[in-house]
Chains A and B, each alone.
Chain A
Amino acid sequence: MLDLIWLLPGFPLAGFLILALTGGRLPKNIVAIVGAGSVGLAFLVAVLASIEVLNSSDGHLSRTLWTWMAAGDFQADFSFYLDGLTVVMILVISGVGFLIHLYSTGFMIEDPSYSRFFAYMNLFVASMLILVLADNLVLLYLGWEGVGLCSYLLIGFWYENPANGYAARKAFVVTRVGDTSMAIGLFLLFSQLGTLNIQDLMVNAEQQWQVGSGVAVAAALLLLGGAVGKSAQLPLQTWLPDAMAGPTPISALIHAATMVTAGVYLIARTHILFELAPDVQALVAWVGLITLLMAGFTALTQHDIKRILAYSTISQIGYMFLGLGVGAWSASIFHLMTHAFFKALLFLAAGTVILSLHHEHNIFKMGGMRKHLPFAFWSFIIGSAALTALPFTSGYFSKDEILLAALESGGSGTILWLGGVIGAFFTAVYSFRLVFVVFFGECHHPAKEKTGFSMAAPLVILAILALVGGFIHIPVDAVFAHGEAVHEEHHVSILVHGLMIAVPIIGVIVSYLFFYSKTFSADKLAGSGIGASLHKFWFNHWGMDRLYDTLFVIPYMFLARINRKDLIDQFFGLIVWASRVSSSLAVKTQTGQIRWYAASVVAGVIVLLAIGALL
């Protein structure tokens, strides 16, 4: 079976080629079969490959397809490496990806660019699978850039609206900052360790580098730069909320379940490097904590349903970074998986609401949808419960593990834990604010639920996964076997456990008091002096966009304006000018009078004769 592993990215890639080369001439039902079917087949391959990997003796397998490039000492193969971590990733990508494709066949049915949509989606899945299957960092980088490209194409999918194109460019440029850092990191790793094969790299790094040595810190920092760009963490998180300009299934697939977690995967994959640089690893935790709090507060103030979910995604990835930072590698990957389930569920349910309300995004214009959209309502309840980490939902187990690992990590772990718990409280408040505002209260728009089988089935499956996904045991222990603070048994007091169960529930109650029973008025809180300015500050995501505008965009635009004539171009203008002058001189000799031509021939002959005579 493993010899056929190339089929795993191969199926979606073939789907992309078919859809791209037929250029929208296929009927919609064929497009749906090709688009969703290719990912479905990929899922089957992923399942079979996973079984083989997990049954293998040493828990990992690799296959080289062909040599991609070889130059001097440098060689990059098109080769795939599968271990427990890869298995989790490919199953999540192809499984959740298939469900979202299935949903999209219904969601996008009225879109004229149906075929283009599925072409991009298939290309995305293929790139993402290459990213996680890659045996070396060069191939990983290929997938990394591939998903970045697809993200760009799909955010700007409705390109007729210039705002969407702007959002797409913003996402592309901001993530490019991280990608550049990562590319430099790859150069550094290759120049220091002489290989880019991930497994060799880890072995070499462990043997050659001291813990905390400068080069290890630099390499880890540069890779972290790539990870924060892709995973929308501080300080590069500003692109993700704008990325919501794309169709909702895109937000579910790329900007919630898979691509944005690529940074988490990268750090987990190269975790040995981070263990060699404990300072950077601590930085990862702090980046995660600060991001999750910032995004949590911001989500509290938004009124666009998709932006709330986007900030919540940033916040949840913050938890994953927090987990990575305290060495809870498997807990982070676990949270990555459960987050893929419940956030995809939430986005798809939000898509149903948006579609039923004719592309209305403002939650305050919704209200009372519980009766009109029961399906979306229950999906939202389950998704929000998992997001909030209410007991025994999938989010509860994964978040719990991360927070307990933070608490036990010593040092500043208590602060990280406390921050995470506060974050969990606000997660509960903003998630149930969304639920109460959208689904309860009085109804502003009567809406009819438009969910066919293709849209309902993914919601049901994801809802089940979001509920029971916490009981799945992910087979990553062997991957992180050495060095990980494995705490299967968490020795913490009952008080801590009680607190961590109670905090989200208190959050839900607070949310209930504010947004359902209206015992307290959120408007009044946001209307008073300090509340208003805080609300405004949070609403603009802590002024991050304005900060970057002032720091980078405006100076850049200014420089561009003063250099509109392009100084360097002046030099090349000189060449143009010289050739133009000489041309006009040459033109003057072409009088059209034949006697002048004859005379010039004679003059030339005389000159030649004179030269001959003189010599």
Chain B
Amino acid sequence: MYSIPFEHGLILAASLFALGLIGVLTRRNVVFVLMSLEIMLNACGLAFVVVSARWQHADGQIMFLMILTLAAAEVAVGLGLIIQMFRRFKTVDLNVLSQMKG
């Protein structure tokens, strides 16, 4: 069976993680920030899957299932927070939420 080299998978995961991180750090729209977070989570999941395929080990795949459920839960909470934010501030601009500065 032809297989993708292990390193390629990891590079893809790292690139996705970096892209997600850039999105979290630069985006102003909170919905996009949440999406970028999802990308980062999935990058981690991909890395687990790749590694588990490399060593023929099932643990990584189980971990991915956990990340999947975690992501689902996190999105539910995150969207709820975003709705609350929109109700209170009438905006989804993340920069508005800076009341907690020292």
Using a CB–CB cutoff of 8 Å, the interface residues on chain A facing chain B are 586-595, 598-599, 602
CB distance from A609 to the nearest CB of B (A): 12
Give the B interface residue count (CB, 8 A). 12
A588–B102 CB distance below 8 A: yes
Chain A contact surface mostly: helix
Interchain pairs with CB closer than 8 A, number = 32
Q: Which residues of B contact A588 (CB under 8 A)?
A: 102
Using A592-B97, A593-B95 as known contacts, say yes or no to A598 and B102 having CB atoms under 8 A apart: no
Map CB proximity to A onto B82-102 as digits: 1 under 8 Å, 0 otherwise.
000000000000110111111
B24–A591 CB distance below 8 A: no
Q: Which residues of B contact A593 (CB under 8 A)?
A: 94-95, 98, 101
- The answer, yes or no, to whether B21 is at the interface (CB within 8 Å) is yes
Q: Which residues of A contact B25 (CB under 8 A)?
A: 595, 598-599, 602
A602–B95 CB distance below 8 A: no
Once bound together, how far apart are the Cα atoms of A591 and B25, in whole Å?
14
- Per CB-CB distance, the 10 closest pairs between chain A and chain B, nearest first, are A592-B101, A590-B102, A592-B98, A587-B102, A592-B100, A595-B25, A591-B101, A593-B98, A599-B25, A598-B24
Chain A residue nearest in CB terms to B28: A595
Q: A593-B94, A598-B21 are in contact. List 10 more A-B contacts (CB 8 A).
A: A587-B102, A588-B102, A589-B102, A590-B100, A591-B101, A592-B99, A592-B100, A595-B24, A595-B25, A595-B26
Within 8 A of A (CB), among B57-102: 94-95, 97-102
Chain A residue nearest in CB terms to B100: A592
Q: Which residues of A contact B98 (CB under 8 A)?
A: 591-593
Q: Which of A586, A590, A593, A594 has most chain B Cβ within 10 Å?
A: A594
Q: Which residues of A contact B94 (CB under 8 A)?
A: 593-595
Q: Which residues of A contact B95 (CB under 8 A)?
A: 593
Q: Which residues of B contact A591 (CB under 8 A)?
A: 98, 101-102
A594–B21 CB distance below 8 A: no
Q: Which residues of B contact A592 (CB under 8 A)?
A: 97-102
B102–A586 CB distance below 8 A: yes
B21–A602 CB distance below 8 A: yes
Residue pairs across A and B with Cβ atoms less than 8 A apart, 28 shown, are A586-B102, A588-B102, A589-B102, A590-B100, A590-B101, A590-B102, A591-B98, A591-B101, A591-B102, A592-B97, A592-B98, A592-B99, A592-B102, A593-B94, A593-B95, A593-B98, A593-B101, A594-B97, A595-B24, A595-B25, A595-B26, A595-B94, A598-B21, A598-B24, A598-B25, A599-B25, A602-B21, A602-B25
